Structure 1
Amino acid sequence: MRHRVPSDIRRILRLVGLPLVRALMLLAVSALCGLLPPAFLMAWRASSSIRELAAGCALGLLLETALFALFTFHAAAFVERLYRIPMRSAIGFILRALFLPEWKYPVGEVRNGDLTPATRDSVLVRVGGPGALVVHESNLVLLERGGAFARLIGPGLQHLRPFERPALVLDLRPQSRRRQVNAWTRDGLPVRSTLYLSCRLRWQPNEPENEARLIRMAYQLDTGSREKGYGIDWAGELADEARAMLARRLGRLWFDELWSPYMAAMHAPPPAPQLLGEPSADAPTPEPWGIPERPPEDAPIPARWEEIRQEVRRELEQWIRGRQWEVEILHFAFEPPVPWPEVEPMIREAWLEHWRVPWRGWAVHLQSRAMREQVRQRELARAMGQRELLEAIVAVVQQEWPLGDPQRGLQRLLLRLVELMQHWSHPDAELLTPTDLFELVHHLRRMMQRPSSAGGSDAHGSPPPFPTDPGLE
Structure 2
Amino acid sequence: MSKKKKNKRQRPELGLLGFILAAFGLAVMAYFLADRRGHPYGATLSLIWLYVTGVTFTLGVLFFAQFTAPMRSRFGWWEGVRLIMRHYTGLTTQFVRQPRPDDKKRQPSAAVVPRTDIPISLFTMRAGIVRSYQALAITKGNSFVRVAGPGFVNLYAKEEIRQVIDLRVQLRQQPVHASTRDGIPLETSVTVIFQVKHDAADRSQAHLLFPFDKEAIFLISYLQSVNVEGTSYGWAEQLTPRAAALLTWELAQYNLDALIHYPSTAVSPLQEINRRILENLQGQPDLRGIHIIAAKAGPLKLPQAIQEQNIATWRSDWQRKMAIEKATVDAEMIRRKKQARARAQIEIIETIIQNLEVMRQEGESELNQVIILRLIDALEEAVAADSPHALVPHRIMAGLLADASAQMQARLDDPLLPSGQGGEGSRP
TM-score of the aligned structures, taking structure 2 as reference length:
0.43
**Structure having the higher Rg:** 1
